[in-house]
Amino acid sequence: MTDHPDAASLNDKWILITGAGRRIGAVVADTLHAAGANIAIHYRGSADDAKSLQARLEARRADSTLLLQADVLDTAALPGMVEQLIAHSGRLDVLINNASSFYPTALGTVTEAQWEDLIGSNLKAPLFLCQAALPHLKAARGSIINMVDIHAQRPLRDHTVYGPAKAGLVMLTLSLAKDLGPDIRVNGVAPGAILWPEEGMSDKLKEGILKRVPLKRVGDPSDIARTILFLTRDAPYVTGQIIAVDGGRSLNW
Ligand SMILES: NC(=O)c1ccc[n+]([C@@H]2O[C@H](COP(=O)([O-])OP(=O)(O)OC[C@H]3O[C@@H](n4cnc5c(N)ncnc54)[C@H](OP(=O)(O)O)[C@@H]3O)[C@@H](O)[C@H]2O)c1
């Protein structure tokens, strides 16, 4: 079988991943880098993690990474981040909106600051980053991946701001896919239970969740990374799709 003419190697491409210093973002960075891509590793506070990820990737292939620091709530800083990458590499092929804040906000306790933080990181920043990246993604005939959540479609108890923010990000994904074709593909990945929240979750709650996962286990960040690799490299005719990577959890709501 010969390669399809659209089959794209990631060699020499530049991929910007937000919130890439640690957890899922770092594994996505590592996986795409191992497949040949150069990575702009964005972080906010996790400087040590981001620097050690950079060192690991540079040991694999020299001059293949760039570190970008920003709080994505600072909308004015987003174009500067893209320009920093363009000044360094001259191109941007794939944007992965992964940075996110996540915590419960039971109604009756919600503050405006929580609204700004959750909507800001999960919905507003992806939109303005896509806007800043647009001419470069267009020139590269690139793609966008937005990290959403299976709970964008079915509510997670007490997550009255996070859920709507991710639901908005799903609609942003679909809207951009419609508007930016044929030059740019736009897709979303919706993780189920992959890494438990760091703030802690009771064993009872974890067991309750796993009972409803047909594959009976949590996922691994590599499950997300391989799905993103497929969408960026191997899916030239896929746009406007949200792929759930959830062990079948969304079958058992
Ligand atoms: N973990 C799961 O099982 C799961 C389930 C469903 C959906 N998801 C989605 O998958 C993605 C990755 O999940 P994760 O658990 O690895 O994420 P995470 O650890 O909760 O957050 C990823 C990074 O987002 C960055 N971030 C948060 N607010 C920011 C801000 N204002 N400005 C810049 N960066 C900010 C943080 O960077 P610094 O540390 O550098 O500050 C953080 O390390 C997220 O979009 C999440 O919503 C994950």
pLDDT in tens, 176-228: 999 999 999 999 999 999 999 888 788 998 999 999 999 999 999 999 999 99
How many whole angstroms from 122 Cα to the centroid of ligand 1?
Answer: 9
pLDDT of residue 205: 86
Q: β-pairing, 65-69 with 143-147? A: unpaired
Q: 23-34 and 221-233 are packed helices; what angle lies between their axes, rounded to 10 degrees? A: 50
Name the residue among 52, 169, 26, 146 with its Cα closest to residue 94.
146
In a domain, 1, yes or no: no
Whether the per-residue pLDDT at 252 is higher than 70: the answer is yes
E-strand stretches of the chain: 14-17, 38-43, 65-69, 94-97, 143-147, 185-191, 242-245
Q: What is the mean pLDDT of residues 2-20?
A: 82
Please check whether residue 91 lies inside any domain of the structure. yes
Ligand 1 atom having least distance to the Cα of 21: 40
Tokens of residue 40, six digits: 């702009």
Per-residue model confidence (pLDDT) at position 1: 43
pLDDT at position 2 is 42
- Ligand 1 pocket list (CB less than 6 A): 19, 21-25, 43-46, 71-73, 98-102, 121, 147, 149, 191, 193-195
Q: How far, in whole angstroms, is CA 240 from its chain's centroid?
A: 15
Supply the pTM of this predicted model: 0.97
Sole residue written with tokens 């306790």: 109
Averaged pLDDT score across all residues of the chain: 96
216 within some domain: yes
Mean pLDDT of 86-102: 98
Mean pLDDT score, 126-136: 98
Nearest to 169 by CA among 154, 150, 147, 184: 147
- Answer whether residue 169 is part of any domain: yes
Work out the pLDDT band at 7, boundaries 50, 70, 90: low
What does the pLDDT read at residue 47? 98
pLDDT in tens, 12-32: 999 999 999 999 999 999 999
- Label residue 4 by pLDDT band (50, 70, 90): low
With vertex at residue 94, the alpha carbon angle to CA 88 and CA 99, rounded to the nearest 5 degrees, is: 90
For residue 192, what pLDDT is reported? Answer: 97
Atom of ligand 1 nearest to the CA of 50: 40
Whether residue 3 is contained in a domain is answered as no
Q: Which residue has the least CA distance to atom 48 on ligand 1?
A: 191
User: Given a cut of 60, is residue 145 above it in pLDDT?
Assistant: yes
Nearest Cα residue to atom 3 of ligand 1: 194
Q: What is the CATH number of the domain that holds 51?
A: 3.40.50.720
User: What residue type is assigned to position 91 of the chain?
Assistant: R
The set of residues, in sequence order, having a beta carbon less than 8 Å from that of 67 and lying 6+ positions away, is 40, 41, 43, 50, 51, 54
> Is 61 domain-assigned?
yes
**Does 103 reside within a domain?**
yes
What pLDDT digit, counting tens, does each position of 153-170 carry?
999 999 999 999 999 999
Domain range holding 237?
A: 14-248
pLDDT score of 6 more than 60: no
- In total, how many domains does the chain have? 1
Give the angle subtended at the CA of 125 by the CAs of 164 and 149, to the nearest 5°: 40
Residue 163 CA to residue 155 CA, distance in Å, equals: 6
253 found inside a domain: no
| Span 245-252, average pLDDT | 95
